[in-house]
């Protein structure tokens, strides 16, 4: 009995040690935010800060692990927020089964800046998860897909359309797909026909919440 208990204790200790080891590295890519793993892992909290502090954790991560991940085209923003945010981008969305899940956070960022749809997919689904905590009215996110040429005008018209219309003009033929606006902790999705992305590109996905499209955008293409 004594030996069994000892072994059991030892294996538990090993398991705990293994768990702690896995939780330790906070600096993964932006697509696996530390905030998602911290709620259940108290030991890593001091290193990565609180779950809700996406804004504060983003800066050290960006500065130390992704110095080269600047994104062409987002530089002319001018604001400090823009300069910091662009350094966390540069990641391609993970696609499987003709679907992907992308994240938006409280720092006005998507976790990816490109989505490549396999040519074999007739339909494609984008799941959007808001990993932040701020409410929809303060830090709302959606995904809107248009041609790159139409993006700015669609965003401007979305602004006029207002929150009641998910910041997308009603019956806008330029819009290939869009989701609802969501707030922190919420998720949504949209499925669309990939035939709409076959010609007339290049295409982009972006958030049409006021002021977000300059930062929250990326390329989307069928390949």
Residues that bind Co ion (CB under 5 A): 141, 207, 209, 212, 216
Count CA atoms within 13 Å of residue 52 on its CB side. 4
Give residue number: closest CB to Co ion: 207
Nearer to Co ion, 102 or 117 (CB): 102
Task: Give the nearest distance from C-beta 218 to Co ion in angstroms.
Answer: 13
The least distance separating Co ion from the CB of residue 195, rounded to whole angstroms, comes to: 27
Of residues 102 and 222, the one with the C-beta less far from Co ion? 102
* Residue 160 CB neighbour total at 10 angstroms: 9
Q: How far apart are CA 194 and CA 161, in angstroms?
A: 26
Distances in Å between the Cα of 206 and the Cα atoms of 40, 161, 184 are: 32, 16, 17
- ∠ Cα 185 115 177 (to 5°): 70
Least Å distance between CB 214 and Co ion? Answer: 11
Residue 130 C-beta: closest distance to Co ion, Å: 9
Q: Considering the complex, state which of residue 107 and residue 207 has its C-beta at the smaller distance from Co ion.
A: 207
- Work out whether the CA dihedral 154, 202, 62, 110 comes out positive or negative: positive
Q: Which is nearer to Co ion, 124 or 205 (CB)?
A: 205
CB of 104 to Co ion, least distance (A): 6
Q: Is the Cβ of residue 49 or residue 106 nearer to Co ion in the bound state?
A: 106
| Residue 136 neighbours by CB distance under 10 Å | 17
| Nearest residue (CB) to Co ion, 110 versus 203 | 110
64: number of Cβ within 10 Å: 9
Residue 67 Rama label (left phi>0; alpha psi -120 to 50; beta): alpha
Query: Least CB distance from residue 128 to Co ion, whole Å?
Result: 10
Bridge-based pairing of strands 187-193 and 123-130 is antiparallel
The DSSP bridge pattern shows strands 114-117 and 123-130 to be unpaired
């Amino acid at each position: 009995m004594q030996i069994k208990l000892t072994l059991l204790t030892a294996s538990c200790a090993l398991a705990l040690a293994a768990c702690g080891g896995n939780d330790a590295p906070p600096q993964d890519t932006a697509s696996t935010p530390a905030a998602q793993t911290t709620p259940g892992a108290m030991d890593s909290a001091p290193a990565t800060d609180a779950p809700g502090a996406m804004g504060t954790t983003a800066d050290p991560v960006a500065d130390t692990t992704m110095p080269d991940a600047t994104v062409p085209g987002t530089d002319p923003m001018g604001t400090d927020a823009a300069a910091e945010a662009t350094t966390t981008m540069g990641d391609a969305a993970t696609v499987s089964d003709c679907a992907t899940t992308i994240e938006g956070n409280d720092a006005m960022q998507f976790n990816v800046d490109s989505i490549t749809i396999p040519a074999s997919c007739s339909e494609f689904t984008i799941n959007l998860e808001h990993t932040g905590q701020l409410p929809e009215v303060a830090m709302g996110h959606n995904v809107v897909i248009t041609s790159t040429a139409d993006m700015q005008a669609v965003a401007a018209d979305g602004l006029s359309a207002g929150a009641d219309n998910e910041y997308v003009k009603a019956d806008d033929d330029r819009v290939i797909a869009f989701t609802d606006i969501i707030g922190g902790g919420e998720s949504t999705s949209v499925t669309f026909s990939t035939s709409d992305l076959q010609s007339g590109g290049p295409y982009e996905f972006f958030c049409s919440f006021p002021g977000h499209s300059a930062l929250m955008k990326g390329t989307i293409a069928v390949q």
